[in-house]
Amino acid sequence: MITDLDIKKKWFDFFTSHGFKRIDSASIIPENDATVLFTTAGMHPLVPYLLGEKHPAGNRLCDVQRCIRTNDIDEVGDDWHLTCFEMLGNWYLGSCPKDEMINLSFEFLTDKKYLGLDKSKLATTVFEGDKTAPRDEEAYAAWKSLGIERVFFLNKHENWWALGSGVGPCGPDSEMFLDTGKPLCNPDCNPSCDCGKYVEIWNDVFMQYKVKEVGKAAELLDNPNIDTGMGLERIVAILNGAKSVYDVGVFKDAIDFLSTKAKVDYTSNDRAKRSYRIIVDHIRAAVFVLGDKRGVVPSNVGQGYILRRFIRRSVNHARNIGLDTSNFDRLIDIFVDKHGVDYPDLAENRATIKEELFKEVEKFSKTLDEGRKEFDKVLISIEKHKEFAAKNGEKVENIISGKAAFRLFDTFGFPLEITKELASERGYTVDEADYNARFIEHQQKSRTAAAGTFKGGLADSSVESAKLHTATHLLHAALQKVLGQEAMQKGSNITPERLRFDFTCDHKMTPAEIKQTEDLVNEVIAKNIPVKCEEMTLDEAKKSGAIGVFEAKYSSKVKVYSIGDFSKEICGGPHANSTGELGHFKIVKEESSSSGVRRIKAVLEK
């Protein structure tokens, strides 16, 4: 049996032997990134360096990054999809030796010291070219020179990386697939087909272009990069000959445990299997979010909304298999025991994870009772309407509107799955198309940025955001002077228009405290103090008094940004050159974020 630890060791052994420096996983909660709710790829923590900043560890890096992606949440329960996963990644910063990266990818995949895959079972894809950029002949030639017979040219939808806006850094990618042995579904079957013949295992992104205007041809970047990613859970399953990520490792351990507690067996039917898989995936994701150093708690918006959805869906699917939710306690332990070695914050926050998760379980159990009452009211209303319509010779179908179903969800937290189940029992159906349209609209409103998420994702790096980033450091320092050292950052979000800052505090700030905080920040701005950046080891940073989330090993190098003797923080940038560039700092709102955490929203006025 090949374990995830075996693969991690091979990954780091291989890339460090080729001159790549190992860096540690960042938080699963992004810092100062308005484009995404969670860290969805190893790229996100490296945004400043992909945009040109110098990384303290150099220009060749490798890591294993904890990630959460929710765009495929409805697919969870099949053989391969997960919301929470670990991503193996490596980077070339400021150079783009495409053939070298492809050679390294091939070596790691096929060398018996590493993954030892049969190259005859590999297939790869490259960009076919269009008006934006030419056909990627270089990548094609590199793969063919290595003896890969199946190299497919695919379109921009399949083999092109770009920002959501279509403007900015971009480039072709080359994806690697393993042939599962299934027959071709048609003569034109290729890795873009969803028939299951090909399973993606790795992706090399060549960020070598930039687009200045949508629809225009791309131009070469002065400082191109390469970003690669391989899903750890998927490659472990493949190497063990498993048909699903849920058949190996910690997922198998979790499902085996649940099988001893649930009334419905895992293998009894597809519906039960799906419920088991959703529970273990979602509880694991909740553990990673609640246990993170920048952890959030369940709420109705943003990250808290996704977390709430993880937990509530788990409760709902526990009902499907006759599982008492008290068994989530042991499930949490299985995941913390497994991942707490690599991510110590999970082990440190075990008690908090359980406390917050079971608060939500209890709250949702009450919600289900209240929701059933509201559901009955909906049916009574429909039946009355049917009676009235019948008197007028009209016929009303047994359909619960999308509006009514979504109100049950949005107002009372009643899941669509339960609405459909109860409706079916009483001879009704639900207008799911209308419900889904309303749900998508709700999702868009709950996101932290109107721009939404995109493949890979790069944070905003505008001058305005850089100024607000510097203002966030000043705010943090000012709060510690006004409220004490216990006012520690719990999260932040920056757009070009405003900053949002969460911090620990046991009370609502008074008007006097808010004014004092504003005044301290504006005094530093008025002094026009230079923003100084230094590179040092993490141990040196701690000893110097810099504040930050000390996630990495002490041997790692970090950047420390200092603003006179007022503020000193570990940070990746970008920042203003001096405080005089900022303008007037104004707190526009101070409110509760969660228990023991307050939130400030502030702007810079000209």
State the pLDDT confidence band at 331, using cuts at 50, 70 and 90.
very high
How would residue 282 be classed by pLDDT, with cut points 50, 70 and 90? Answer: very high
Between CA 482 and CA 486, with CA 485 as vertex, the angle to 5 degrees is 105
Please give the average per-residue pLDDT across 169-192, as a whole number: 91
pLDDT for the residue numbered 211: 85
Q: What is the pLDDT of residue 165?
A: 62
pLDDT for 311 equals 94
Amino acid 457: pLDDT = 31
Whether 557 shows a pLDDT value over 90: the answer reads no
pLDDT recorded at residue 460: 52
The per-residue DSSP string of 454-482 comes to -SS------HHHHHHHHHHHHHHHHHHHH
CB 287 within 8 A of CB 484: no
- Best-predicted range by mean pLDDT among 226-235, 392-401, 410-419? 226-235
Mean pLDDT of the chain: 88
Q: List, as one string, the DSSP characters of 324-357.
A: -GGGHHHHHHHHHHHHTTT-HHHHHTHHHHHHHH
Question: What phi and psi values does residue 65 have, to the nearest 5 degrees?
Answer: -110, 130
pLDDT given for residue 547 in this prediction: 84
- More confident of the two residues 465 and 253: 253
Looking at 19-23, 215-219, 333-337, which range is the least confident one? 215-219
Residue 261, pLDDT > 90, answer yes
Q: Does the structure show a pLDDT above 50 at 554? A: no
The pLDDT of residue 246 is above 90 = yes
**pLDDT (0 to 100) of residue 444:** 63
For 230, phi then psi, to 5°, come to: -135, 125
The mean pLDDT of 549-567, rounded to a whole number, is: 72
| Domains parsed from the chain with CATH numbers | 4-246 (3.30.930.10), 248-446 (no CATH), 463-605 (3.30.980.10)
Asked if residue 536 has pLDDT above 50, the reply is: yes
Beta bridge partners, 597, equal 504, 594
| Percentage of the chain lying above the pLDDT 90 cut | 53
User: Is residue 447 predicted with pLDDT exceeding 60?
Assistant: no
| Per-residue model confidence as pLDDT tens digits over 99-155 | 999 999 999 999 999 999 999 999 999 999 998 899 999 999 999 999 999 999 999
What pLDDT is attached to residue 389? 78
Range from 245-254, 295-304, 439-448, 544-553 that averages highest in pLDDT = 245-254
Residues 3-20, mean pLDDT to the nearest whole number: 96
Secondary structure of residue 429 in the 3-state scheme: strand
CA atoms of 190 and 8, how far apart (whole Å): 30
